[in-house]
Structure 1
Amino acid sequence: MNMQPTAVTAAGLAPARSAPARPSVAKSWLKAIELTARIEQTPHRLLADVIADHAAATPHRDAIVSEHESLSYAELAARIDRYARWAVSIGVAKGDTVSLLMPNRPDYLAAWLGITRVGGVVALINTQLVGASLAHCVDLAQSKHIIVAHDLADAFDSARAHLTTSPRLWRHGGARDETSIERARAAELPAARPPREVTIDDLALLIYTSGTTGLPKAARVTHRRVMSWAGWFAGLIDATSDDRMYDCLPMYHSVGGVVAPGSLLMAGGSVVIAEKFSASRFWDDIVRWDCTLFQYIGELCRYLLQAPASPRETQHRLRLVCGNGLRGDVWEAFQARFAIPRILEFYAATEGNFSLYNVEGEPGAIGRIPSFLAHRFPAAIVKFDIDTGQPLRDADGRCIRCAPGEAGEAIGRIGEADSRGGRFDGYTSAAESEKKVLRDVFAPGDSWFRTGDLMLQDAKGFFRFVDRIGDTFRWKGENVAASEVTEVIAACPGVIEASVYGVSVPHADGRAGMAALVVGDDFDPAALHRYLADRLPPFARPLFIRLSHALEITGTFKPKKQELIDAGFDPGIVTDPLYVADADGYVPLDRERYARIAAGEFRL
């Protein structure tokens, strides 16, 4: 199916059209509640079934639009069914895992929707991973099969030597041989989907999160979670069949791969998929595809603000943008420059058991919980001890709630998705799941999910994000586990000791990676740069290097990081040699380069 771009005027610009009036905040909440209530009433109805119903009612309506291929609802439903029958034909049993390593494209959605429809579980693999990190994620899923896109074959090949499992390889695209998924799907397949009992309680996806320490963990995402995400967001953004959502976020993440497309497919609208974010192409795409919505992360908004003015940046029909991580100091400038009518900021974690929604558009806030929904989102902020890494307890051993304006760790009550709290489905590892549970919090026997995030609640009841707890820091929209990066660096020739941490950078969201190293005489910064490029994705490679004579440690042999973090990469404070990464490798960080970074003139 060919998607025709919006007609343009003689000046080359699509005329701006006013967005239709939208319901009040209360009505948005009520619509979300209504949609999610249906999920419990029809436990055998999955997202693939919703799409099939739209295909029956409006077969020719655009479901997925992209540069290279677009699918109507009838075509998407047929492709989902083809993947479902393929999964059955190769012996994927209920509960078996299939890893998916594929860039953003329509088949990404069709593949996981089809495989999970017949009871398979799909592990959504980060396409930026290589080598041992990629192998770890595949092994963690205990995959029986892996689908690898032709353009990511080299990345998978780099992981082969590190694999401890032996998933059967299926290549997507490129030459057709015995490992080609297209060839297998073209073969004789079962005539119809077998009558397997798959419900919203069954596992659908594994989505990876780095958590607070260690290598990535695989969060368990049930069909109930998929449907709830899709239903909540469809309701809160008041999605209709006339809407088009622009999605340029990675589809291996829960937001880009489930929330954004799921909410529009739930409503019968269209999802416009871009393979990756491009600041220079962004507004051309928004106007070309006549989008009414787009999904963001905070970094994306900042990049757009820093980009040169585009004649199309206000010639759009956007009515709302939705996402997370939009800083308060960026919010109003972003909304004003690009003529965004409404911003819906939210807070959620893939494995978390509660979410926050800033439906009112309060700049810098991540949301608040309406009083009539407090029983469905039981959340609290408790006092946190930085030294122990645990919430503080009173004389009776109970956690202490923070006062308004006081920062602490945000936690969510664990229950059965009813008035007692939200579900926590955990990770594939029971031990890792237990680390996220806080017990005997306010009463004997209660249990709460630890977000690992410091927040505060202002006088109006809005939650505001403060920082991440522990070693994990966020850069370029990705969580970076310091311990994983440390392990990779420590194995580099010439490195004796390493400590990795995040540092704040002017004019940038999140924290950039920095490594304090003790090195030998054979250490070569250029060799380290090449070494890391082969083993870590770009967002995880430290931007700054500090060469120290020794690293201070605690009594339990853990590196002391707070002083390193406080000193940062300022050569006026740090007397140790400093380096910064540029396009050619690590170069000395002198006062001139530091001044350019501080002014936002040095490309990181």
Structure 2
Amino acid sequence: MTEPKKYKNTVADQMESKATNEKTKDNTFLLFQEEKISFQQFYERSSAYAQLFLKLHQQAAAGDQEVRVAVFMDNHPVFLYAFGGCALTGGTLFGVNTGLRGEVLTELLNKARCQCLIVDDRHYERVRDIRDKLEFITPDRIFLLETDVPEFEAPSGLRSVDEALEAVRDELGDLASARPAADPSAETNLMVIYTSGTTGLPKGIKNSQRKLMTLGTATGGMIVGAKPEDVGYACMPLFHSNSMFLAVMTAFVYNASVVIKDRFSASGFLPDILKYGVTFWNYVGQPVHYILLALERQYGSEEKILAAAAQNPKKKLRVAFGNGASSVDQEKFIRYFGLSNMMESYGTTEMAIAVIGHKDNPRGSVGMIMDPGVKIYNENNQECPPADYDENGRFQNYTEAVGEIVRLGGPLPAFEGYHDNPQEESKKIRDGVYHSGDLGHIRVIQNRRFLYFDGRTDDWIRKDGENFSAESVAQVVAGFAPVALAAAYGVPCPVSDEWVMAAVKLHEGQKFDPEAFHQYLEKQCSGGDMDRKWIPEFVRVVNDFEYTRTQKILARPLKHEYFNLEWIPEGTIYFYRRGFDTYRPFTRAELEALLEEFKKTGREQLLETWR
């Protein structure tokens, strides 16, 4: 009697196990538009990609030790077939942010040294513009995924990925869908996921087969309570850790299903979760807010929203988790969808620090800290005291309590390093301390430590000799009723440090009332959570913001334009200074007077270099 094969806890082995087990092989793994893809189909299609990658690897330059594949596309099953193909070959998939272009995209692809690139028709033009600058990916190693771009004409000589796979099937026959001979270990790196790159070239974080399996196991067990009948919803980009760690790997480990949505759609969210029977959803950035706005626009009253969502017999959604949603939006979302839980959590892309929230945590907290090594450090690398809140919930010691979130001592088992970038590793881990680059504070309640996220260290605003978080300012500004979304950032000051500037997007049909806004801020200073230094000198009204692919507001373009009316339409900025009784429209005359102040203080050069 033949001994049953023993499968390791690697993505590769578990793909084969699920595809050959009678209990799981026909289970639906991926749902894309009207297509259902079983675990067996996923394995066989991934195997064909693996054979293609191995062929390209064999033809690559001598000394190339591993399969390396780049994907540059919106969410699509092909992204995951490439992922599966790399898993089976022991290779590495590089998920490239579709927001990149030009020199940054060129440098990232050259540094990755991939043997091929798969790009969809939505983003091919960006690759076309740089293909002559690519050092390792020749034009015949760029493969096109055709989706839905109308009248897209593929350039002569550009092969579709389907054509390349057909050639492999013609050559290998049935072997094209068989697993390659490679036997990767759990430590084998499988995917490089990039940081946002807000402070330079994005850093590629290594993620081994073991790490991906572990994260899927932990998410499904600790957050979702996953079962084979569960359905996830991956609408965040697959090149981001949020989708891969929390949606795809959770469904994979627990023999469950996951919907692959090409791009996030606020208006499409409710129809999708009803259509596919989605039970868990992960998010990052602002999508919760946009979904709420879409529901309120479409249905008007809460009664009608509840009838369409929470009380709908097709609604199966029970848990949502991620980061970036405000407390107010979380409460609404739980109510509108009748959730059993919604967890606003915190985790670095490196996964060196992870804190999981719960709906019963203190308002605004991202979760209880279980790891005693997680601390808050000030600029002098000294531990900050816990936050002190008075009986009315006012933050009493903001300056002393807010600092960088760090982790002290011991190994970081979930952080496996940066791809080909040891210098960045030494910057992140200094004297045995991991520096997250994120701001936060800790509140102690009944001997339990709760973490609060306050933005990025590079989002500090420095005013009157003190640092504070731009995120903290934006949260207060966003509390003004007519405001739908807000961002805050530092802008040039004629005396020293920076002034505070806020940009606001208003709810539909609302107008900015400078006097009401000023009164609101005064109330926040006297009885709320706002320090008087946080009051913005400038408020800019925008029609909309620029966003990352994970729906986070991009403040950098706003910061670069500061209050310069050469780049910003007059009538969209309001100005406030000591002695004013309210905000005033910022006119060209005001700008000219302000420029004279910069000249008098010798800081006019700051305006020239600010951009």
> Smaller-chain TM-score range?
0.5 to 0.7
Q: Partners of 1:365 and 1:258 in 2: how far apart?
A: 22
**Does 2:182 match 1:196?**
yes
Name 2:514's counterpart in structure 1: none
Determine if contact 1:245/1:272 at 8 Å carries over to the other structure.
yes
Q: Name the residue aligned to 2:106.
A: 135
Q: How does 1:148-547 map to 2 (within 5 A)?
A: 148-160=119-131, 163-167=134-138, 168-173=141-146, 179-187=159-167, 188-189=171-172, 192-210=178-196, 213-236=199-222, 237-307=224-294, 308=297, 309=299, 310=305, 312-314=308-310, 315=312, 316-359=315-358, 361-362=360-361, 363-370=363-370, 377-385=371-379, 392-393=380-381, 399-405=382-388, 406-413=401-408, 415-416=410-411, 423-439=415-431, 447-460=432-445, 461-471=449-459, 504=474, 506=478, 507=483, 511=487, 540=554, 542-543=557-558, 545-546=561-562
Q: What CA distance in whole angstroms lies between the structure 2 residues aligned with 1:216 and 1:510? A: 25
TM-score by length of 1: 0.67
State the 1:178 CA deviation: 6.6
Is the contact made by 2:144 and 2:158 (CA closer than 8 Å) also made in structure 1? no
Instruction: Find the aligned partners of 2:409 and 2:415 in 1 and give their Cα distance.
Output: 6
Inter-partner Cα distance in structure 2 for 1:576 and 1:429: 47
Distance 2:351 2:590 in 1: 38
Can you give the 5+ residue segments of structure 2 that lack an aligned partner in the other structure? 1-5, 59-63, 148-153, 300-304, 389-400, 462-469, 494-544, 567-574, 592-611
Which letter maps to 2:69? V
Q: Residues 441 and 454 of structure 2 are in contact (CA less than 8 Å); yes or no, is this contact kept in structure 1? A: yes
The one-letter code of the counterpart of 1:437 is: I
Shift in CA distance, 172/379, structure 1 to aligned 2, threshold 3 Å? same
Contact 1:345 1:361 in 2 (8 A): no
Letter in structure 2 aligned against 1:85:
Q
1:86-139 Cα offsets, whole Å, 9 max, x none, are 211222665342111121111211211212321211110112222223223212
Aligned residues of 2:377 and 2:403 also touching (Cα < 8 A): yes
CA contact (8 A) 2:386 2:443 kept: no
Question: What is the SS of the residue equivalent to 1:156?
Answer: helix
Q: Report the CA distance between 1:566 and its aligned residue.
A: 11
Q: CA deviation at 1:250?
A: 0.9
The CA deviation at 1:211 is 5.0
Distance (Å, rounded) in 1 between the aligned partners of 2:414 and 2:39: 33
Kept in 2, the 8 Å contact 1:63–1:71? The answer is: yes
Gaps of 5+ in 1: 1-41, 371-376, 386-391, 394-398, 440-446, 474-500, 518-531, 551-563, 580-604
Specify whether residues 246 and 173 from structure 1 end up closer, same or farther in structure 2 by C-alpha distance, changes over 3 A only.
same
Amino acid paired to 2:421:
S
2:29 to 57, 63, 76: 63
User: What's the secondary structure of 1:275's corresponding residue?
Assistant: coil
In structure 2, what residue type is equivalent to 1:51? M
Larger deviation, residues 200-209 vs 171-180? 171-180
CA contact (8 A) 2:73 2:123 kept: yes
- 1:481 is matched with none
Question: 1:282, CA displacement in angstroms?
Answer: 1.0
| Alpha-carbon distance in 2 for matches of 1:287, 1:156 | 37
Q: What is the match of residue 29 of structure 1? A: none
Give 1:71 deviation, angstroms: 0.5
Structure 2: distance between partners of 1:329 and 1:578 = 37
AA in 1 matched with 2:456: R
Aligned residues: 456
Q: Which has the higher helix share?
A: 2
For residues 551-588 of structure 1, give each alpha carbon's deviation from its aligned partner in whole angstroms, at most 9, with x where no partner exists: xxxxxxxxxxxxx9999xx9738666999xxxxxxxxx
Distance 1:513 1:206, change over 3 A: farther
Whole-Å Cα distance in 2 between the matches of residues 566 and 102 of structure 1? 47
**Of 33, 49, 55, the match for 1:83:** 49
**Contact in 1 for aligned 2:576/2:584 (Cα 8 Å):** no
Q: Greater Rg, structure 1 or structure 2? A: 2
| Residue number among 47, 63, 71 corresponding to 2:11 in the alignment | 47
Q: Any idea what SS the aligned residue of 2:83 has? A: helix
What SS does the corresponding residue of 1:291 show, helix, strand or coil? Answer: coil
1:223-254 deviation line (CA, Å, top 9, x unaligned): 22212211110111111001011121111101
